[in-house]
């Protein structure tokens, strides 16, 4: 557990409720459609949450392949908390957790406008493919 500037960051073991995730995602993503995160988190390698005064203000999910590869998903920071370094801190924390749990490679897909953010998190560019199903 890490505490700084009255933000507490937790790694696995303090799962957010569906209601908390939906409130965060609704504030952050205008087209968010609620769904249950219980089955998603049950299959995750780990997740990291950040809370300010008890309220969920950031979330990152890390899924793994059961081997050396892990993937960052659903990186979300509440709009009122952006541009303060919280996003970079939570992704780096998630990377450390993934390493601690045995991952050797951490992957992330992102839209072009997020490239500099993920570079600040420590990711380098790579060629990859994506298929929408």
Q: Is 15 exposed, middle or buried (0-12, 13-18, 19+ CB in 10 A)?
A: middle
The residue behind tokens 């790694």 is 11
Q: Which residues pair with 69 in a beta bridge?
A: 105
**pTM (2 decimals)?**
0.88
pLDDT tens, residue by residue, 69-112: 999 999 999 999 999 999 999 999 999 999 999 999 999 999 99
Question: What is 2-121's CATH number?
Answer: 3.40.630.30
The DSSP symbol for 14 reads S
Domain boundaries, the chain: 2-121
**pLDDT for the residue numbered 6:** 66
Element (H, E) at 4: strand 2-4
pLDDT tens, residue by residue, 12-71: 567 899 999 999 999 999 898 988 999 999 999 999 999 988 899 999 999 999 999 999
The DSSP symbol for 106 reads E
Q: Which residues pair with 63 in a beta bridge?
A: 71
Strands lying side by side in the sheet with 46-52: 2-4, 7-11, 46-52, 55-64, 69-77, 105-108
């Amino acid at each position: 557990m890490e505490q700084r500037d009255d933000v507490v960051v937790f790694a696995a073991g303090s799962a957010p409720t569906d209601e908390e995730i939906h409130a965060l995602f609704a504030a952050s993503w205008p087209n968010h459609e609620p769904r249950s995160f219980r089955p998603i988190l049950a299959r995750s390698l780990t997740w990291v949450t950040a809370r300010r005064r008890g309220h969920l203000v950031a979330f990152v999910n890390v899924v793994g392949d059961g081997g050396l590869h892990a993937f960052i998903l659903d990186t979300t920071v509440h709009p009122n908390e952006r541009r303060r370094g919280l996003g970079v801190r939570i992704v780096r924390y998630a990377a450390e957790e993934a390493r601690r749990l045995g991952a050797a490679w951490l992957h992330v897909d992102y839209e072009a406008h997020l490239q500099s953010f993920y570079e600040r998190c420590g990711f380098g560019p790579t060629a990859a493919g994506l298929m929408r199903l």
